[in-house]
Copies of this chain bind each other. A is one copy, B any other.
Amino acid sequence: MKNSGTSPTPHPLEELVRMDRIPHIWCPGCGTGSVFTSSLSAIKQSGIPYNQFAMVSGIGCSGRGAGYINIDSFHTTHGRAIPFATGIKMARPDINVIVFSGDGDLFAIGGNHFIHAARRNMDITVICVNNLTYGMTGGQVAATTPFRAKSATTAAGNPDSPFNLPLLAYASGATYVARWTMLHARDLADAVQEAILRKGFSFIEVLSPCPVNFGRRNREKSLDTLRNYHENTIIKNGANPAELDVDFGKKVVLGKFIDIDRPTCDEMYRKMYWPQPETDEKRKTG
């Protein structure tokens, strides 16, 4: 007999999942679940106690992430995960704050918060599930939708060009910038872990299929998308951020692009504004 298909022990990530909310809402073939799994795995591997984490999401399919992780988790308003996370971080610098949200959430309505948090080097980890569209509302054009791609509001193709997200992150001041696809599950988990363990604003873009609302309109089944991720990507750590456009016609560059040291917002604030040692004490009781 082959190895059993049914499970005697629980899935190793169950301790980190609100199992009473599974199945999640993500469609069959949706990559969000994969990105989420890699992220949980990184949290587990980091060895940091779970109550020293908080996850914050905005609104969107990916934004449901916060609803499934079994740590303190916040499903906020559309686009506002980062300022919510900023509030947490500045009030409790010892908490590891992870933002898990979508491209629409973080870069359409939420773009301003992103660039400002990066500028301040806010010590949070931002994981962006980039499925090139607004999945949840049915696949309208996003700031990440490729030029000429079809969407629910660009029937004749997207007339605009998308952001190069790593470049934008870098230009805004992010001190850690990486891009993976959900297929690069282990690299992704490693990147998330690295981002958690370091200080500073860390941004990880994760390409991920939305077969239902993006793939369908662009004649791409989810396994086609994954094939793209496999065949038409190339890993170039330290690549020039200016050369990171997502264009599967050429190769899409993956890897860790930026990893620099710069004082974080909370560090500098404490340094410049809490000269008295006693205040650190106070904060704890505060």
Contacts and interface: CB of A to CB of B under 8 A. Distances in A.
A268 B143 CA distance: 16
Interface string A64-77: 00000000000000
A25 interface: no
Contacts of A148: 272
Nearest to A110: B112
Oligomer copy total? 2
Given A111-B111, A111-B112, A171-B168, A162 B119 contact: yes
A170 interface: yes
A161 B119 contact: yes
A221 interface: no
A156 interface: yes
Interface residues of A, number: 35
A164 interface: yes
Contact of A265 (B109, B159, B171): B159
Nearest to A262: B161
Nearest to A267: B159
A170 B167 CA distance: 9
Given A160-B119, A272-B157, A273-B156, A170 B171 contact: yes
Interface string A145-182: 00010000000110111111001101111000000000
A120 B160 contact: yes
Interface in A67-99: none
A193 interface: no
Interface string A266-278: 0011011100000
Given A111-B111, A112-B115, 4 more contacts: A108-B116, A111-B115, A121-B161, A170-B171
- List 4 A-B pairs, minimum CB-CB distance, nearest first: A171-B171, A112-B112, A159-B268, A111-B112
